[in-house]
């Protein structure tokens, strides 16, 4: 069923749809620069940027490059859990800087040390470069936290493509026991690169994230026009293995999101494997609503509270 947009978002969505229609009429094609600028423009809605006791930028060496991270420690004298934060953006966009207000709010609400990872992006660095960066940080996060107080709990959190990274690392953990993941937090996650869910069609136009853009994102990420390849199915966490060793999971979904049904299906598969799942569905919200915080304050506040409750639960 097609979603019905919240009145809170109607003016924004009307303007976004006009911009999209004008671009199509003028035959403006997708490009990395264009979509990156578009996502970065949403920073005007991220007005809540709370102070954090300790914020520090570091780099983790990996192969022939450095992985930039930003660490947020809300209580440096306390041994807190560690949360790795993987930003969204279709594997092509987003950055530690854009997501800085969200990382800060995550650290404060969850009472965790948040490590936000500036993983490599496609098309310059296609699959699995970004996954490899995030996995390396998960494996070696203690190196980044030398001299800081932390405990042995490790959580991962991500929205959209960041959710894809989380769920991919969970898949990878089946074969690599060094990948410790105690809980995962998924916000409108992308978990099926074949775009098979009904909501991709139902919500694929008129709600900010459109079907043709999703397809283009994935084509850049995998460097192919054919998203039905066996290798792409194998890369899709929804189509992979589910077992009782997977972490407890919080899943946030949005009613006007093309990825809505993927989140539902992933939750169902986790439950069938015996995993504890906490779900929250926001009718009337679009994909990326956490980046629109000043327009949907209540929904964002509730999301941070859900994350706080989830991480506090023993």
Q: Which are the catalytic amino acids?
A: 160, 257, 287
Question: d(Cα 132, Cα 291) in Å, to the nearest integer?
Answer: 25
Q: Which two tokens stand for residue 147?
A: 């001299």
Question: d(Cα 15, Cα 26) in Å, to the nearest integer?
Answer: 17
Is residue 218 within 8 A of residue 201, CB to CB? The reply is: no
H/E stretch holding 67: strand 65-73
Are β-strands 54-62 and 80-86 bridged in parallel, bridged antiparallel, or unpaired?
unpaired
Q: Which two tokens stand for residue 298?
A: 């209540």
Q: Which two tokens stand for residue 162?
A: 């960041």
Cβ neighbors of 73 (< 8 A, separation 6 or more) are 52, 53, 54, 55, 80, 107, 113, 148, 149
The single residue listed with the structure tokens 């980046």 is: 291
Spatial strand order of the sheet with 113-117 comes to 54-62, 65-73, 113-117, 80-86, 150-159, 183-187, 248-254, 277-282
């Amino acid at each position: 069923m097609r979603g019905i947009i919240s009145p809170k978002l109607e003016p924004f969505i009307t303007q976004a749809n006009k911009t999209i229609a004008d671009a199509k009429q003028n035959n403006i094609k997708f490009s990395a620069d264009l979509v990156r600028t578009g996502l970065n423009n949403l920073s005007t809605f991220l007005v809540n940027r709370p102070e954090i006791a300790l914020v520090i930028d570091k780099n983790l060496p990996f192969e022939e490059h450095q992985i930039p991270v930003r660490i947020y420690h809300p209580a440096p004298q306390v041994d807190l859990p560690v949360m790795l934060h993987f930003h969204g953006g279709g594997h092509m966009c987003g950055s530690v800087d854009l997501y800085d207000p969200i990382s800060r709010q995550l650290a404060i609400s969850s009472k965790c040390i948040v490590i936000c990872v500036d993983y490599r992006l496609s098309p310059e660095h296609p699959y699995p470069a970004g996954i490899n960066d995030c996995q390396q940080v998960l494996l070696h996060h203690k190196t980044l936290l030398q001299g800081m107080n932390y405990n042995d709990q490790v959580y991962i959190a991500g929205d959209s493509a960041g959710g894809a990274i989380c769920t991919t690392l969970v898949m990878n953990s089946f074969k690599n026991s060094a990948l410790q993941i105690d809980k995962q937090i998924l916000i409108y996650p992308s978990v099926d690169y074949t775009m098979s869910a009904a909501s991709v069609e139902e919500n694929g136009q008129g709600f900010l994230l459109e079907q043709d853009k999703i397809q283009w994102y994935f084509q850049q990420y995998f460097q192919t026009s054919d998203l039905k390849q066996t290798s792409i199915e194998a890369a899709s966490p929804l189509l992979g293995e589910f077992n009782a060793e997977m972490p407890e999971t919080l899943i946030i979904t949005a009613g006007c999101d093309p990825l809505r049904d993927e989140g539902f299906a992933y939750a169902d598969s986790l439950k069938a494997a015996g995993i504890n799942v906490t779900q929250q569905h926001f009718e009337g919200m679009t994909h990326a609503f956490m980046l629109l915080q000043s327009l949907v304050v209540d929904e964002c506040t509730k999301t941070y509270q859900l994350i706080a409750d989830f991480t506090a639960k023993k």
